[in-house]
Amino acid sequence: MYKEMKKQLIVGTTALVIGGCIAASSQAAFLTWDPTTNNVVVGETFDVNIFVGGLQPGEDLAGFDIDALFDNSMLDFSGYTLYDGLGDLAAFEAEDWSDGDDGYGLANLTEVSYLYDLSAQPDSF
């Protein structure tokens, strides 16, 4: 059951993710979806970490907008946490424009960086 839900989540967002992460160079940036566990019992909470990788020298990520589709009869979206790779939210270096869960099986995560120079970003985070 979990594997099918995970597959639906990944398949449902692949087109959006690819469209938002393709770099101009011959090697594209990519997203990795990393669940914290492979087995989940009904009613149990689990996390999915999303990482960006493959940024080439001179390529910076200044923002992202990810829509994750899921079967809301099988999963509940309980929240999200953003990493500071695009800037410190508390210092107004970046802004969280995420809508979170729309209640109908769509979770939106959006962050925009206000930093002028993003060249110190690691190639993955």
Q: Please identify which residue in the block is written with the tokens 């020298």.
A: 57
Where does residue 68 rank: exposed (0-12), middle (13-18), buried (19+ CB within 10 A)? buried
Residue 105 has pLDDT above 80, yes or no: yes
- Alpha carbon separation from 11 to 14, 58, 80, 107 (Å, rounded): 5, 30, 20, 14
Which of 32, 30, 43, 52 lies closest to 2 in space, CA to CA? 43
Which of 83, 105, 79 lies closest to 13 in space, CA to CA? 105
Each residue of 16-72: pLDDT tens digit?
Answer: 445 555 444 467 889 999 999 999 898 899 999 999 999 988 889 999 999 999 999
Rounded Cα gap, residues 72 and 40, in angstroms: 16
